[in-house]
Amino acid sequence: MWEKYFISGLILIIVLTTLALTNSLNYQDSYNINSLKYSAHHERAEKIQQAVFPLLRQNASVDNVRISFPVISGVKTNTDYLLVCYYRWQGEGSQMLQPSKINTTLCTHIIVGFALVKNNTLVPADPSDIHGYELVTGLKKTVPNLKVMLSVGGGGGAKGISPSVSTSQNRAKLISSIISLLSKCNFDGIDIDWEFPVWDGSSLEDKKNFILFLRDLRNAINSERKNYRNKPLLLSVAVAAVLPIMRASYDIPSLAKYVDFINLMSYDYHDFTWYLPFTGHNSPLYKRKDEFGYFATLNTAWSAEEWVKKGMPRSKIMVGIPTYAHTYILATPYIHGFNAPAVGGGEMTYDEACNFVKNGAVRVFDKESQVPYAYKNRTWVGYDDLESVTAKVKWIKSRGFGGVMTFDLNCDDWNSVCDKALPFPLHRRMYELLKT
């Protein structure tokens, strides 16, 4: 029954969007909303939005979605939680976060992105990236316990992985190149950010081949242990948070056998697309009471618990918290809550969202989903702030997960643009909560 209301509402939104589009083409707010046309976040989010339609066609799949959480006992009471921070090396431009500006005391692990796979070989996206890799791994000289890993793939950067894991010969060549590059740049491990196996036209054999690759990589890591300063390389995988991709892409019990931990991408749940043109939060903690079926699963809590139900140990799950926001151009400034009609979208960093509120936007903290959004004129921003990351970290600890993953250091207020007192305010809050 709810599907009828959804379709009727969607038709109404499309009509409103069409009426508003003429005036919207020339609309410019005082805040810059960057186009997501070439954004890795947008590419990931669009794949997630596309997952709606198969479930809507299969009523049983929607109705059988589990949204209750089991009572657990024996949760962690120590302070050994991980704070795994992604960092995007973007070159040495003055406006980019440089390794020397990273507060290395806030993260237990830094994952540098993103390398590529070409011709069954791990390579930097640009040859000059090697310099950036070495600058980041050099941070370990002052913080010996810090682990620095290299990530391969990322949104839009994983196209070479599928053929490279399709045969034992290809896998062997790729694994040899991984260990070689990690050793050359003094990395502590590899993160596989394949978005996504068996998805968006990829091979149906990806699911099986991915596990074979991880098995072979784990065996190679174990055999290389004595040659790598007697310390085993770490192996993590960035994984999807939505049900259709979970089902299609991952053999989760087998995945759990080979990885040290997974990085759950519990963000990009909602984003502007032409076929879902209404506002939604980037990374809600919980569902709202007006969300049903598949839409009730688009939140951090559901995703993390579903990975546990499907066989991943809690201790190996790093629950993702984004430091960037998704933005929308409202069809009308008079409708500005969740599910408001929208005619465009973009993204903001945390400092941009913070300044947006400081400069007159109305901030609303949704008590159900435990995340804020803000609006002004026709700009709508769904973001995370100190209040929402506090709620998320407390929940992560209460449920006994292994820690937090952030995407990313670059989008936090690393240069104290909004918060003049301290850089990296979101990471600082997460660190303080995990250590208490």
Q: Is 104 exposed, middle or buried, given 0-12, 13-18 or 19+ CB atoms closer than 10 A?
A: middle
Q: State the catalytic residue, choosing from 195, 305, 347, 352.
A: 195
The encoded tokens of residue 202 equal 């990829």
Question: Per-residue DSSP letters for 345-412?
Answer: EEEEEHHHHHHHHHTTPEEEEETTTTEEEEEETTEEEE---HHHHHHHHHHHHHTT-SEEEEE-GGGS
Distance CA 427, CA 172 (A): 38
Q: Is 418 exposed, middle or buried, given 0-12, 13-18 or 19+ CB atoms closer than 10 A?
A: middle
Asked whether 412 and 425 are in contact (CB, 8 A), the reply is yes
Q: What is the DSSP letter of 128?
A: T
For residue 168, give the amino acid letter. S
* CA-atom Rg of the chain in angstroms: 21
Any residues with CB less than 8 A from the CB of 124 and at least 6 apart, and which? Answer: 115, 116, 130, 133, 181
Asked whether 1 and 291 are in contact (CB, 8 A), the reply is no
Any residues with CB less than 8 A from the CB of 307 and at least 6 apart, and which? Answer: 239, 246, 252, 262, 264, 317
The answer to whether 134 is a known catalytic residue is no
Reduce the DSSP state of residue 247 to 3 states and report it: helix
Question: Per-residue DSSP letters for 188-235?
Answer: SEEEEE-S-TT-TT--TTHHHHHHHHHHHHHHHHHHTGGGTTT-PPEE
Q: Is the peptide bond before 196 cis (omega within 30 degrees of 0)?
A: yes
The encoded tokens of residue 379 equal 């700009």
The encoded tokens of residue 152 equal 């391969």
Q: Is 254 exposed, middle or buried, given 0-12, 13-18 or 19+ CB atoms closer than 10 A?
A: middle
* Residues classed as catalytic: 195
